[in-house]
Amino acid sequence: MKIPKMFFSLIGFLMLIPIYQGCVEQVDAEFDLQSDIIFVDGYVLTEPGTSSVTISKSTFQNQTTYQVVNVLNASVQIENINTGEIIEFIEDVSGIYGCPSNFAASTGEEWKLYVELEDGRRIESNSQIVTSPVLIDSVHAVYSPEIEFNTQFDRLVPGHRLSIDWQDPANEENFQLWKYRTFEPLFVCKTCQRGVLRNGECEPTGLNWGPDYYSYVCIPDCWQINIGKELPIFNDRLEDGEMITEREIAILPMYQKPSILVEVQQFSLDESAYEYFKVVNSQVSQSGGLNAPPPAALLGNLFNPNDASDLILGNFTAAGISTKRLFIDRSQITEYAITSPDPIILENCPTCPTSYPCMESFTRTGIKPNGWP
pLDDT at 282: 80
pTM of the model: 0.85
pLDDT at 209: 86
pLDDT at 35: 66
Domain ranges of the chain: 7-185+223-328
Mean pLDDT of 116-144: 97
Give the model confidence (pLDDT) of 256-280 as tens digits: 999 999 999 999 999 999 999 998 8
Question: What percent of the chain is modeled with pLDDT above 90?
Answer: 74
Give the model confidence (pLDDT) of 345-371 as tens digits: 999 999 999 999 999 999 999 999 999
pLDDT at 319: 98
Give the model confidence (pLDDT) of 201-212 as tens digits: 999 988 888 899
Non-local (6+) Cβ contacts of 329 within 8 A are 259
Pairing status of strand 136-150 against strand 122-125: unpaired
Lay out the sheet containing 136-150: strands in order across. Answer: 136-150, 155-167, 243-253
pLDDT at 304: 96
pLDDT at 29 over 60: no
Distance between CA atoms of 182 and 186, rounded to whole angstroms?
A: 12
Total count of residues recorded for the chain: 373
pLDDT at 3: 43
Mean pLDDT of 81-107: 95
Q: Is 230 exposed, middle or buried (0-12, 13-18, 19+ CB in 10 A)?
A: middle
Nearest Cα neighbor of 192 from 345, 4, 351, 19 is 345
Average pLDDT value for the chain = 87
